[in-house]
Amino acid sequence: MTRYRVAVHIVPRKGILDPQGKAVADALHALGFAAVGDVRVGRHLVLDLDAKDEGDASQRVRAMCDKLLANPVTEDYELAGVTVA
Amino acid sequence: MKFGIITFPGSNCDEDAYNAVTQSLGATGIRLWHKDHDLQGVDVVILPGGFSYGDYLRAGAIARFSPIMREVVAHAERGGPVLGICNGFQIACEAHLLPGALLRNASLQFVSETVTLRVENADTRFTNRYVGGQLLRIPVAHGDGRFTIDLEGLKELEGEGQVVFRYSDATGDTTDAANPNGSLDNIAGIVNKQGNVLGMMPHPERAVDALLGSDDGLALFESMLAAVAA
């Protein structure tokens, strides 16, 4: 077993109104960042866990996302990195 | 008839629900703790409002895995009535007792006000003491009350008469202005397909006596009493 560090991005699914993202986009536009289009505000989680290898670590974190970390009705998640902790 | 009211760490409407059941309705209330493994033979389970587990991660996401929720899900699967109010609605969705999800209010602001609800379905075990189209004055107090579901799920809810309450104006029109949180189609409360689990963002337990400003919520508790006694 090796200790891995896995980062996860969880964001509101496309097509679901994200008022936080919209507020941030509006603020950026007001500050002159006119090039900004869509903004979505989500969560970034960093988990340390023991696993056999990188694939095992990813699989375990996906199971966690499916069960608890992300809401399958409204959110998408992606693993943003798996490294040895 | 016994109502079980579950207290999670962070619940804050459990006492109001207990008082509504015991004082206003005159039924028996049983206080249940989230770590309990036994519903003590209650006929109805109430998941009260509040901020269970500080709303960490998502509202209701962690409470859903409290030990007692296993018993609540089993109770619901046996056809036992479950009433989820506000945070209890969020917990019921997270526990897959109800479809859909509750997201941050579209305004990004916490809303605390008395709203008008239109009764969409008076033929449920939670609403049989109302009449269809009746308008109720019931308070809301939440930051994450925007009901969301995919199009297919929405069609199913509509088709099966599962939408029980909608936010409306004083004349019964379900306008955007009357929608306090941006909920899809002004949906304020739904039942599951079997009709034994109701989730609603407004607080009927805070509207059980004219002294509180409204007693329009009392008939919801009377409906459950009538349904279980039947």
| pLDDT tens column, A14-70 | 889 999 999 999 999 999 999 999 999 999 999 999 999 999 999 999 999 999 999
Conformation bin of residue A32: beta by default, left when phi > 0, alpha when psi is -120 to 50? left
Given a contact cutoff of 8 angstroms between Cβ atoms, the answer to whether B212 and B149 are in contact is: no
- A19: tokens are 């008022």
Output the pLDDT for position B112. Answer: 98
- Smallest Cβ–Cβ distance between A19 and the set B62, B99, B108 belongs to B108
Query: Which residues make Cβ contacts (< 8 Å) with residue B4, sequence separation at least 6?
Result: B29, B30, B31, B32, B39, B40, B42, B44, B45, B46
Cα gap B85→B101, rounded to integer Å: 14
The reported pLDDT for the residue numbered A25 is: 96
Position B26 pLDDT exceeds 80:
yes
Report yes or no: B88 and B69 within 8 Å, Cβ to Cβ: no
**What's the pLDDT band for A71 if we cut at 50, 70, 90?**
very high
Nearest 5°: the CA angle B163, A10, B71 is: 50
Instruction: Look up B96 and say whether it is catalytic.
Output: no
Residue B71 appears among annotated catalytic residues: no
Is B93 among the catalytic positions? no
pLDDT at B229 (0 to 100): 82
pLDDT value at residue A57: 97
Look at residue B206 and tell me whether its pLDDT is greater than 90: yes
pLDDT at position A15, please? 87
- Which CA distances in Å does B94 have to A14, A32, B29? 20, 40, 25
Q: Please tell me if residue A44 touches chain B, with a CB cutoff of 8 Å.
A: no
* Residue in chain B lying closest to A24 (CA): B108
Grouping H, G, I as helix, E, B as strand and the rest as coil, residue B111 is strand
Contact B57 A19 (CB under 8 A): no
Q: What is the pLDDT of residue B51?
A: 96
Query: For the segment B131-184, what is each residue's pLDDT rounded down to a tens digit?
Result: 999 999 999 999 999 999 999 999 999 999 999 999 999 999 999 999 999 999
Option in A20, A68, A69 nearest B104 (CB): A20
- As a whole number, mean pLDDT of residues B73-96 equals 98
pLDDT average, residue stretch B78-102:
98
- Contact between B215 and B208 (Cβ < 8 Å): yes
pLDDT category of residue B118 using cuts at 50, 70 and 90? very high
Q: What's the complex ipTM?
A: 0.88
| Residues in chain B within 8 Å Cβ distance of A74 | 101, 103, 148
pLDDT of B230: 76
Q: Average pLDDT, whole number, for chain B?
A: 97
Give the pLDDT of residue B19: 98
Strand partners, A50: A3
Write down the pTM of the prediction: 0.95
